[in-house]
Amino acid sequence: MIAHLPILQVALPLLAAPLCVLLRSARAAWWIYLLASVAAFGSALLLASSVATHGPLHYAVGNWAPPFGIAYVIDAANAFVLVLVSGIAVATAIYAPRSIAAEIDPQRVYLYYACLCLCLTGLLGIVATGDAFNVFVFLEISSLSSYALIALGKRRQALLAAFRYLVMGTLGGTFVLIGIGLAYAVTGTLNMADLAQRLPALYGNRTLTAAVGFVSVGLAIKAAVFPLHAWLPSAYAEAPSAAGVFLSATGTKVAIYAFLRFAFGIFGAGLVFGHLPMSALILIVGTAAMLAGAAIACYQDDLKRILAWSSVGQIGYIVVGLGLASQQGLSAAFLHISAHALIKGGLFATAGIVALRLGTTRIDALAGLARSAPAVFVALLLGGLGLIGVPLTAGFVSKWALVMALIEADQWAVIAAVLLSSLLALVYVGRIIEVAWFREPPLLADTAQPSTPAPMALAMWGLVGVSLVAGVYAAPLSRAATAAAAALLGTAP
């Protein structure tokens, strides 16, 4: 059975989507989505433990040996991301029903769950595959479903945000397609392992250099890396809360993972970071991202928008980590991928609860939240501390690892930028806390707020709680991140 797990954890959510549509019932669709994500999470955990003990798993779809068919390869790196993505999907499933009932037309709820299943399928497919073109196909499944998930936001701005995301995302996807095509032109193969074997002979080939460029730019658009981030803030801020939780925690992370896979598993670190000046470029871009994202977040007056802009900044940390291309840098990147996914997922969950209780997420409306909804406020506070990187949070663990990696690489300017951006995070988190804690609520707000539904609170505390546990008891996560980095670099841990 374990032999088929690599395909099952993608195929089960895939099977779930048409079932949701066929049954046409919101309740049944939720159960299907829940079961599919739990099944995916379970298989991901089993896979991760199997990979940790027995080494990488290979699976040939259709029993066509690679490079003739499509192969799945699970190693410590993608097992890490698989567990993360499917875990967030479970949290979203717990969170979703009440939030969706409040935000989505009841006639469309079953379609909405089908879209969530599809988005999960796409993301897991990107992570698990060992075939370059297969990445593109699943990238488009996840992208198309996320456009739809975002477009159903309550305000009309959601439509515009989804459209802009669609245009940018399609350009990004097509850039990836061009890059894969150029690599195919000079090798004749699409299998990642086969490509990796043939490419070193071609270092210096101009077609290959351009392929690296196109894939990098395409995935940078999908990951919203700083100058190409324009679609992200309004897309995540306008999305319905449940989609916001899921996408903010997984979407950009998977794109970054895909870049890591292309850089280390296909093109090879020797080409991307040795032959081409990508390392310096990535460090500059990452530094700019963490400063600009955090700075702009300070000027927003909507909770979800602050969180979305903060994501732009936080992606900068991950990018800086991978730009170092060292064992430490990569483990810091993996740590921050997981830490930020948990924290930002938790914070978007909190923002969704705020939206449900107050009917808005505007920052002035938060006044008095600390008294009217202390639990929500505490979650917001803890998540915010994680964003800043205060000790005993997961954010601290990953930032500490990043700073250590930067010290090792003698990148003092970047370290200064990390500290500055943390200060900026203090400013925007502080603003939220200040309003919610100290400012008097307007008299109108005393009218009865709906209470927090228990499943939503559970999901919120689940995400925030796991991020706190990971901050206090950091060893397992660090170990997994180290193993993931080692798997990418090809050095046995």
Partner 1 sequence: MNGFVWIDIVLFTILAATAVGLARTRQLFAAAMLSGLFSLTSACIFVLQDAVDVAFTEAAVGAGMTTVLFLGTLALTRSREKVTPPRRSIPAALIAIFTGGVLIYASTDMPPFAAADTPVQQHPLTQRFLDDSMTEIGVPNVVTSVLASYRGYDTLGETVVVFTAAIAVLMLLGRGRPATSAEPKPREALPQPIQHDQRVLRVVSKLMLPFILLFALYVQFHGDYGPGGGFQAGVIFASGLILYALVFGLDAARAAVSPAALRRMVPLGVLIYAGVGFATLLLGGAFLDYNVLDAHDPAHGQHLGILLVELGVGITVTAAMLMLFYSFAARGVGR
Partner 2 sequence: MIASHYNYWIAVVLLMIGLYVVMSHSNTIKKLIGLNVFQVAVFMLYISLGKIEGGTAPIVDAAFTVYSHPLPHVLILTAIVVGVATTALGLALVVRIHEAYGTTDEDEALIADRREAERT
CB of 197 to partner 2, least distance (A): 18
Burial label, 185 (beta-carbon count in 10 A; 0-12, 13-18, 19+) = exposed
Q: Of these partners, partner 1, partner 2, none, which one is at the site of residue 18 (CB under 5 to 8 Å by kind)?
A: partner 1
CB of 188 to partner 2, least distance (A): 8
The torsion angle over the Cα atoms of residues 391, 392, 397 and 398, rounded to 10 degrees, is: -80
- What residue type is 73 in one-letter code? V
Q: Of these partners, partner 1, partner 2, none, which one is at the site of residue 21 (CB under 5 to 8 Å by kind)?
A: partner 1
What residues numbered 412-451 form the site for partner 1, per CB under 8 A? none
CB-based contact 160:122 (threshold 8 Å): no
The reply on whether position 159 binds partner 2 by CB under 8 A is yes
- What residue type is 95 in one-letter code? Y
What residues numbered 135-154 form the site for partner 1, per CB under 8 A? 137-138, 140-141, 144-145, 147-148, 151-152
- Would you give the binding string for partner 1 spanning residues 56-85, x where CB under 8 A is met? ---xxxxxx--xxxx---------------
33, 214, 273, 309: which one contacts partner 1 (CB under 8 A)?
214
Nearer to partner 2, 176 or 456 (CB): 176
21, 178, 230, 445: which one contacts partner 2 (CB under 8 A)?
178
CB of 187 to partner 1, least distance (A): 5
Angle, in degrees to the nearest 10, between helices 241-260 and 206-223: 160
CB of 442 to partner 2, least distance (A): 15
Nearer to partner 1, 226 or 334 (CB): 226
Q: Alpha carbon 169 to chain centroid distance? A: 15
The reply on whether position 134 binds partner 1 by CB under 8 A is yes
9, 78, 86, 187: which one contacts partner 1 (CB under 8 A)?
187
Q: Of these partners, partner 1, partner 2, none, which one is at the site of residue 417 (CB under 5 to 8 Å by kind)?
A: none
Q: How far apart are the first and last CA of the chain?
A: 27
CB of 155 to partner 2, least distance (A): 9
Task: Output the 3-class SS for the chain.
Answer: CHHHHHHHHHHHHHHHHHHHHHHCCHHHHHHHHHHHHHHHHHHHHHHHHHHHHHCCEEEEHHHCCCCCCCEEEECHHHHHHHHHHHHHHHHHHHHHHHHHHHHCCHHHHHHHHHHHHHHHHHHHHHHHECEHHHHHHHHHHHHHHHHHHHHCCCCCHHHHHHHHHHHHHHHHHHHHHHHHHHHHHHHCCCEHHHHHHHHHHHCCCHHHHHHHHHHHHHHHHHHCCHHHCCCHHHHHHHCCHHHHHHHHHHHHHHHHHHHHHHHHHHHCHHHHHHHCCHHHHHHHHHHHHHHHHHHHHCCCCEHHHHHHHHHHHHHHHHHHHHHHCCHHHHHHHHHHHHHHHHHHHHHHHHHHHHHHHHCCCEHHHHCCHHHHCHHHHHHHHHHHHHHHCCCCCHHHHHHHHHHHHHHHCCCHHHHHHHHHHHHHHHHHHHHHHHHHHHCCCCHHHHCCCCCCCHHHHHHHHHHHHHHHHHHHCCHHHHHHHHHHHHHHHCCCC
CB of 203 to partner 1, least distance (A): 12
Nearer to partner 1, 63 or 491 (CB): 63
Q: Of these partners, partner 2, partner 1, none, which one is at the site of residue 166 (CB under 5 to 8 Å by kind)?
A: partner 2
Nearer to partner 1, 70 or 85 (CB): 70
What residues numbered 4-33 form the site for partner 1, per CB under 8 A? 4, 7, 11, 14-15, 17-19, 21-22, 24
31, 184, 400, 437: which one contacts partner 2 (CB under 8 A)?
184
What residues numbered 127-156 form the site for partner 2, per CB under 8 A? 133, 136-137, 140, 144, 147-148, 151, 156
CB of 182 to partner 2, least distance (A): 9
CB of 105 to partner 2, least distance (A): 13
CB of 171 to partner 2, least distance (A): 7
CB of 42 to partner 1, least distance (A): 17
Q: Of these partners, partner 2, partner 1, none, which one is at the site of residue 476 (CB under 5 to 8 Å by kind)?
A: none
Q: Is the peptide bond before 67 cis (omega within 30 degrees of 0)?
A: yes
CB of 168 to partner 1, least distance (A): 12
Binding site for partner 1 (CB under 8 A): 4, 7, 11, 14-15, 17-19, 21-22, 24, 59-64, 67-70, 105, 107-108, 111-112, 114-115, 118, 121, 125, 133-134, 137-138, 140-141, 144-145, 147-148, 151-152, 178, 182, 184-189, 198, 205-211, 213-214
Binding site for partner 2 (CB under 8 A): 133, 136-137, 140, 144, 147-148, 151, 156-157, 159-160, 162-164, 166-167, 170-171, 173-174, 177-178, 181, 184-185, 190
